[in-house]
A = this chain, B = another copy of it.
Amino acid sequence: MLTIGQLADYVGVTVRAVRHYHQRGLLPEPDRDASGYRRYDADAVVRLIRIKTLAGAGVPLARIEDLLDAGPEEFSCAIVQIDKALTSRIRELQEQRRRIAGLTAGDRLFLPAEIADFLDQLRAIGISERTVQVERDGWILLAARYPQEAGRAAGFKLSALDDPEFRRIYTAFDEAYDWDPADPRLEELADAMLALIGRHPRDPAQAAAEDQADPVTLSLMTTQPGSMPPAWERLDELCRERGQAVGFG
């Protein structure tokens, strides 16, 4: 006959856990010896090992109680289910491993692949990190609200990068970050941007998403008023003034 400590040590649980199982009714209270100590027999060892094994597999104690008093066919049926749950939990953890590895690896964790590709392409053609971050924040918010549309729109933008004119304009837009809002080049840039939009034949269904994906519109979504550079705010203004004709804004 074992004491509670001997039992707990052999099975590999804490004394407190054994008492907890008594309280929950999972393990019957054994007889006491002359000192009031609990004394356990072999059945208690067997039952406690079953409890520990199931609990270790993540089975709630309430479920364990049912299982231990169930028939063998119900029991082995449950074991199959528990095994499935364990297997899928293992898969989850393997997925978690991939994800935490990605925590140091940049944007791909937060964004659909097309968007991350688009941001990487911007970096590749020499766009400043400062501007890429504004794009990124905009896309994150857009993807949060319209996941599918954001993915499609990013694919569209990605292919637009093949157009040398788009690249030239985007580079200018990037450089305009530091310009004076009165800089006359802003007017040329606004004209060029609108011309570009006019040149690309646009599927009307995509037009809305695409407009939202414009860096200027995006940056308006993402930042507080006043936190944008003055030149970009002016550029947005110019586009709105002239863009009515082509449905911009």
**A residues neighboring B (CB under 8 Å):** 1-2, 6-7, 10, 41-43, 45-46, 49-50, 53-54, 56-57, 72, 75-76, 79, 82-83, 86-87, 89-90, 93-94, 96-97, 99-101, 103-104, 109-110, 136-138, 140-141, 143-145, 147, 221-223
Contact = CB atoms under 8 A, between A and B. Distances in A.
Nearest to A45: B140
Nearest to A75: B104
Contact of A89 (B93, B109, B110): B93
A144 B2 contact: yes
A158 B87 CA distance: 37
Contacts of A145: 2, 6, 10
Contacts of A43: 137
A102 to B, nearest CB: 8
A127 to B, nearest CB: 18
Contacts of A223: 41
Nearest to A46: B110
Contact of A57 (B54, B96, B141): B96
B79 A101 contact: yes
A82 B54 contact: no
A86 B93 contact: yes
A86 B141 CA distance: 31
Given A93-B93, A109-B49, A110-B45, A83 B100 contact: yes
A109 B76 CA distance: 15
Nearest to A41: B222
A96 B86 contact: yes
A6 B147 CA distance: 11
Contacts of A86: 93, 96-97, 100
